[in-house]
Amino acid sequence: MTAIARSDDTVSRRDAPANGLVKDSMILGGRAVREALRTPDSLLPTMFIPLFFLVVNVGQAARIFPSSDTPFLEGQSYGAFQLPASLLLSASFGAAALYLVEEIEGGYFDKLRAAPISRMALVLGRLYAEFLKTAVVATVMVGLALAFGIRIASGVAGFVVLLVLVSAWAMVFSGFMQLIALKSRSAAATQGASMVFFPLLFLTPNFVPRDQLTRPMEIAATINPVTYVMEACRSLILHGFDGAALGKGFAVVAVAMALMLTLSVRMVNGYD
């Protein structure tokens, strides 16, 4: 009888309706937000390190690319060109995977798996919190950039789209880190794996547009999915609404999100 009850309970969890998925994931997301609020100092590296790279990169190259003589800057400062790289860097500091490792080590994750909630909710809960946290950090960073003369060419609507794109990318990145946490169950391995973003970030048209890179770097940037997210963000700041660039950027995020969620649910279902 116990085996039958467990089997029926597993089926009910896996067949949870869509409204149950939303409710469960929002509850878990709210819990993750409260955890973040209890440790506000953890947001300092998320904001300080990207701003540090922004200041250093602009300080090194601003004179090489003056706004008046550099066509790709569209009349803005070099800081406007560098801002998307800093925003994407801030999106790579998600702590969702490390919190997940703590839950695994403490046994709380096993309790969540035993609860009658959707497997997808277990994955999405913390990712919602990462979306919100990244949106707040990105808003502060853009506000500081505006104070130094950088403007968003696409206006208020473009600013909102920029926040959504960067925050959605943070969900994708944190989701893949959660996969590593589930596989390794190790905080050290998870923390080390997060460093993979830095090579991906620098294999992009980070300092100049893609058509001004050397041929090997241009090839590397073209096959790097982060490039299209960066170019979509950059188009909103420098050009306005560029349908082609935004389409590619959101397509990369959508495909990566679908792949991440599929692998995550499979990993949770096969978790032992």
Reported as a single tens digit per residue, the pLDDT across 212-266 is 999 999 999 999 999 999 999 999 999 999 999 999 999 999 999 999 999 988 8
CA separation for the pair 110, 108 (Å, rounded): 5
Answer for the pair 112, 24: CB distance below 8 angstroms, yes or no: no
Q: Note down the domain range covering 171.
A: 2-269
Range scoring the smallest mean pLDDT among 30-39, 59-68, 147-156, 230-239: 30-39
Domain count within the chain: 1
For 33, which DSSP code?
Answer: H
Query: Which residue, chain included where needed, has tokens 């994750």?
Result: 109
For 116, which DSSP code?
Answer: S
Write the pLDDT tens digit of every residue in 108-137. Answer: 777 777 777 777 888 888 898 889 989 999
Q: What pTM, to 2 d.p., does this model score?
A: 0.86
CA separation for the pair 144, 123 (Å, rounded): 33
Angle between helices 243-269 and 119-147 (to 10 degrees): 150
CA separation for the pair 90, 131 (Å, rounded): 12
Burial of 174 from C-beta contacts in 10 A (0-12 / 13-18 / 19+): buried
Token couple for 86:
């800093």
Q: Residue 205: which H helix or E strand, with range?
A: none
Q: Is 241 helix (H, G, I), strand (E, B) or coil?
A: coil
